[in-house]
Amino acid sequence: MNRILALALCVLLLSCVRAQDDLPFEVEVLGSFEQPWALAFLPDGRMLVTEKKGNLLLVGQDGQTFGSIGGVPDVDYGRQGGLGDVVLHPDFENNGLVYLSYAEAGIGDTRGAAVGRGVLTLTDGGGSLADFDVIWRQYPKVVGFGHYGHRLLFDDDGYLWITSGDRQKFTPAQDMQSNLGKVLRLHDDGAVPDDNPFVDYDSEDPLVDDDGVYGQIWSLGHRNPLGIATDLSGQLWIVEMGPKHGDELNRIERGGNYGYPIVSNGDHYDGREIPDHDTRPDFNAPAAYWVPAISPGHVMFYSGDMFGDWRGNALAAGLSSKAIIRIEIDGSEAREVERFEMNARIRAIVQGPDGALWVLEDERGDSEGRLLKLTPKG
């Protein structure tokens, strides 16, 4: 009876929080990692898992680690930095290309995100990446250890998308001569597509260097976008960490300016207010935002049959909220409809080949960096 009342209340509130003993899925714990960040499925059903200290691991669906992958570049490990995302080239079965993002040391005390690719060869005990080649770097490198962003996505047309965080420097997100605080669209080798929105930016300002990074930019005014995914219609979305509250789900439009740090529905951590989005309708407003914060670490769109009722929904990984957030999308509209309490900071959520959900916890405090497999309760 309590359950029926709770469900009725959920319907009335149009959103609900499911406590851990009331989750609609079984949670299978398959192992744990040291500060895991991302996972990607290989065509053979095994996974590549990244650990922030710089390990790329080959892992089976039973959670067993076969071994590590050699040839991974040196990473600048510390705070939010280290080895980040891992994705496969759309034609991986023929070219073996694996893409990694990571924090890279620069001169002095500077650092910045980089993206590179290498050719993966698997062995019984792991494997190696050959001919690793850096194809993109954050510009400029700056001091500090935060807001790398550096999630990667290949879309259905084969373009490589990179989220680039503002490195906690605020104003670069509006600076067209920096690629910080931006969403970037590149060819698979890092070249700039001719039809990107700002390829002719230099012609508008004679002082702009014609070798600038603006050609890479697809959208700007972002803070720390940690998730990027396309929905079932091919539309691009990101989640980004807001400042003090004001986390955002943004529907990404070509050439769009999402307003950070000029506007945010959150405010600065030192207490200074940032005007809300509704004060500046000239900037793109988020499709959904969260006050209080959920701290989105990743987002995906569900396209499987196993959780058939969730087809087309976005699922966001919540770090501080220790939850998975289910979001319904209707064209350009989005709203949270359900929140599943996971009792751990959730770093990544990926749909497996069978439609199950594969989840990586963060490793921090009482969150143990476990690999979880979620399947519907029978």
- The answer for residues whose C-beta is within 8 angstroms of residue 65's C-beta and 6 or more apart is 31, 57, 58, 59
334-363: contacts with Ca ion (CB under 5 A): none
Question: Which residues are identified as catalytic?
Answer: 147
Residue 35 CB neighbours (<10 A): 18
To Ca ion, the closest distance from the beta carbon of 277 in angstroms equals 8
CB of 243 to Ca ion, least distance (A): 8
Contacts of 230 by beta carbon, 8 Å cutoff, 6+ apart? 153, 155, 156, 236, 237, 301
- Could you say which DSSP state residue 208 is in? S
Tokens of 322: 């220790």
Nearer to Ca ion, 253 or 276 (CB): 276
Q: 90 burial class (0-12, 13-18, 19+ CB within 10 angstroms)? A: middle
Contact with Ca ion (CB under 5 A) among 274, 299, 300, 374:
274
Which residue, 273 or 330, is less far from Ca ion as judged by CB?
Answer: 273
- At 183, which helix (H) or strand (E)? strand 182-186
Q: Which region, judged by CB under 5 A, interacts with Ca ion, from 111-119, 155-163, 178-186, 268-276?
A: 268-276
Strands 323-330 and 314-318: antiparallel
Total binding residues for Ca ion by CB under 5 A?
A: 3
Q: Tokens 């053979």 — which residue?
A: 44
Residues 108-167, interacting with Ca ion (CB under 5 A): none
Q: Which is nearer to Ca ion, 229 or 274 (CB)?
A: 274
Supply the minimum distance, in Å, between the C-beta of residue 274 and Ca ion.
4
CB of 267 or CB of 361, closer to Ca ion: 267
Q: Shortest distance, CB of residue 279 to Ca ion, whole angstroms?
A: 9
d(CA 127, CA 124): 8
The smaller minimum CB distance to Ca ion, of residues 267 and 362, is found at 267
Q: Are 102 and 75 in contact (CB under 8 A)?
A: yes
Cβ distance to Ca ion smaller for residue 20 or 171: 171
The correct pick among 22, 175, 276, 328 for binding Ca ion (CB under 5 A) is 276
For residue 348, count other CB atoms closer than 10 A to its CB. Answer: 26
The neighbour count for residue 305, using CB atoms within 10 Å, is 9
Token pair belonging to 144: 């500090």
Phi-psi map region of 149: left, alpha, beta (phi>0 left; psi -120 to 50 alpha): left
Q: Are strands 65-70 and 126-137 parallel, antiparallel or unpaired?
A: parallel
Under the rule (CB under 5 A), what is the footprint of Ca ion?
267, 274, 276
